[in-house]
């Protein structure tokens, strides 16, 4: 899609040279998180979570045994007056929608105790009802999800995903304009940078969650793996305690990767859009003559009275000087308060900026819903009914 030589972008611009390419903003956080998850401990943890989903998904007997284990755990918790486990099916790790991965992390945190108990029962196989494949795999996964590396990576990922999930959901809204979308991204980046600057105090919450998860299964505290100065394929940091070790080897690298990816991917917003947004009343005081000339050069063919564009900008600046405390900071409010007869060029330019596609999630949602509506049993459905059913299904 984004190829500037032979991709879809290039083919569009052959026909319409002024058509600017914008990457889907709701997909960008997914890519940023995906690249951030290449930290070795995080990557291994996610692969084990995927293996846990595979272990239960395609085997009804294993799934039924997990449900029985959840019931037993809830009976024990109820007698102790502890919050019961909400029963969930262990879902597969989604490869594309990283928002779903956060949901899977939350569900796994809730189901961690029943899953561990289930693996212990299968690996012991005292009833002789499990085959060798199930016993071997359960024993392997049990050791993996009780390891210090898994617990540290899991709680780190679970904690910092909280800051990116609302952003991903927000950017999928079809009513977002480009300015509001990128403002929210800047807010998320600033928060993550503040956490990074004060990582010692912020990490206390993560480490408490790690220790709680470890103690749930009889582990007194997290330990530091054996270090070796000649080993370069793993972290060999000499530290005084486990808390410092896991902060330096897992949490800080993951947070650094996440901040860098968000900064890189969202810094490449199309320059014409950024300069066009300088016409908003809240930005007019910093608008320069050079930027006005660049905007004219870019959009003059689309303007209804291009020869009066510079004069309109000056009038707009003087107008909003009279209302310094009522300056709109988004395109919709500006258009509602603007007079398209007095400022036809500015209104036209803002309308062009308003239709910049922030996300393609709505289009993809329609495509993914088609298979549920247009099935083999409905091959004679006409277009009007198909359109209506898809809209009902989506909304």
Are both 217 and 118 inside the same structural domain? yes
Are both 292 and 252 inside the same structural domain? no
Domain contains 23: no
Going from the C-alpha of 62 to that of each of 48, 59, 90, 117, 129, the distances in angstroms are 17, 6, 11, 12, 11
DSSP calls for 262-317? HHHHTS---HHHHHHGGGSGGGGGG--HHHHHHHHHHHGGG-TTGGGHHHHHHHHH
- Predicted confidence pLDDT, tens digits, the chain (395 residues): 778 788 888 888 888 877 777 777 767 777 777 777 777 888 888 889 889 989 988 888 998 999 899 899 888 888 888 888 887 778 777 666 666 777 888 888 888 888 999 999 999 988 888 999 999 999 999 999 998 889 988 888 888 888 877 777 777 766 666 666 777 778 888 888 888 888 777 788 888 888 888 887 777 778 877 766 665 556 667 777 888 888 888 888 888 888 888 887 776 555 556 667 778 888 787 788 888 888 888 788 888 888 888 888 888 888 888 887 788 877 888 888 888 888 898 898 888 877 776 666 666 666 777 878 887 777 788 889 888 888 888 77
Domain contains 22: no
Buried b (16+ CB within 10 A) or exposed e, 136-160: ebbbebbebbbbbbbbbbbbbbbbb
Q: Which domain holds residue 171?
A: 28-265
Domain end, chosen from 237, 265, 293, is at 265
Domain end, chosen from 201, 236, 265, is at 265
Are both 290 and 228 inside the same structural domain? no
Which residues fall within 8 angstroms of residue 153, CB to CB, at 6 or more apart?
39, 41, 42, 44, 45, 250
Domain contains 286: yes
Are both 58 and 154 inside the same structural domain? yes
Q: What's the number of CA atoms in the CB half-sphere (13 Å) around residue 364? A: 11
Domain contains 109: yes
Are both 308 and 184 inside the same structural domain? no
Are both 240 and 338 inside the same structural domain? no
Domain end, chosen from 265, 295, 325, is at 265
Question: Contact, 45 vs 153, CB < 8 A?
Answer: yes
Give first-to-last CA distance, the chain, whole Å. 27
Are both 57 and 197 inside the same structural domain? yes
The predicted model scores a pTM of: 0.70
Are both 293 and 366 inside the same structural domain? no
Are both 99 and 200 inside the same structural domain? yes
Q: Number of structural domains, the chain?
A: 3
Domain contains 337: yes
């Amino acid at each position: 899609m984004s190829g500037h030589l032979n991709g879809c972008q290039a083919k569009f611009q052959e026909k319409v040279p002024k058509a600017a390419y914008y990457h889907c903003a709701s997909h960008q956080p997914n890519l940023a998180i995906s690249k951030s998850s290449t930290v070795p401990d995080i990557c291994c943890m996610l692969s084990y979570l995927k293996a846990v989903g595979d272990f239960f998904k395609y085997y009804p007997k294993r799934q039924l045994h997990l449900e029985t284990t959840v019931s037993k755990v809830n009976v024990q918790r109820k007698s102790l007056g502890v919050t019961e486990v909400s029963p969930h099916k262990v879902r597969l790790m989604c490869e594309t929608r990283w928002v779903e991965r956060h949901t899977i992390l939350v569900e796994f945190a809730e189901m961690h105790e029943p899953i561990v108990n289930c693996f212990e029962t299968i690996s012991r196989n005292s009833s002789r009802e499990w085959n060798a494949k199930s016993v071997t795999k359960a024993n392997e996964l049990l050791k993996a999800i009780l390891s210090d590396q898994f617990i540290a990576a899991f709680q780190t990922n679970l904690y910092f995903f909280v800051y990116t999930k609302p952003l991903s959901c927000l950017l999928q809204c079809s009513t977002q304009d480009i300015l509001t979308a990128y403002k929210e991204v800047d807010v998320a980046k600033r928060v993550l940078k503040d956490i990074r600057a004060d990582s010692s105090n912020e990490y206390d919450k993560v480490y408490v969650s790690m220790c709680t998860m470890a103690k749930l299964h009889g582990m007194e505290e997290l330990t530091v793996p054996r270090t070796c100065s000649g080993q370069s394929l793993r972290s060999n940091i000499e530290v005084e305690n486990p808390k410092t070790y896991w902060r330096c080897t897992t949490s800080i690298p993951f947070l650094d990767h996440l901040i860098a990816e968000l900064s890189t991917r969202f810094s490449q917003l199309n320059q014409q859009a950024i300069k066009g947004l300088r016409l908003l009343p809240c930005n007019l005081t910093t608008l320069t003559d050079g930027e006005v000339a660049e905007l004219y050069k870019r959009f003059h063919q689309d303007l209804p009275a291009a020869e009066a564009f510079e004069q309109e900008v000056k009038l707009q600046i003087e107008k909003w000087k009279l209302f310094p405390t009522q300056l709109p900071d988004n395109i919709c409010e500006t258009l509602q308060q603007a007079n398209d007869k007095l400022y036809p060029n500015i209104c036209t330019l803002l309308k062009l900026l308003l239709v910049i596609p922030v996300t393609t999630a709505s289009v993809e949602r329609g495509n993914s819903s088609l298979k549920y509506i247009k099935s083999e049993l409905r091959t004679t459905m006409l277009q009007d009914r198909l359109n209506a059913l898809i809209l009902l299904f989506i909304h």
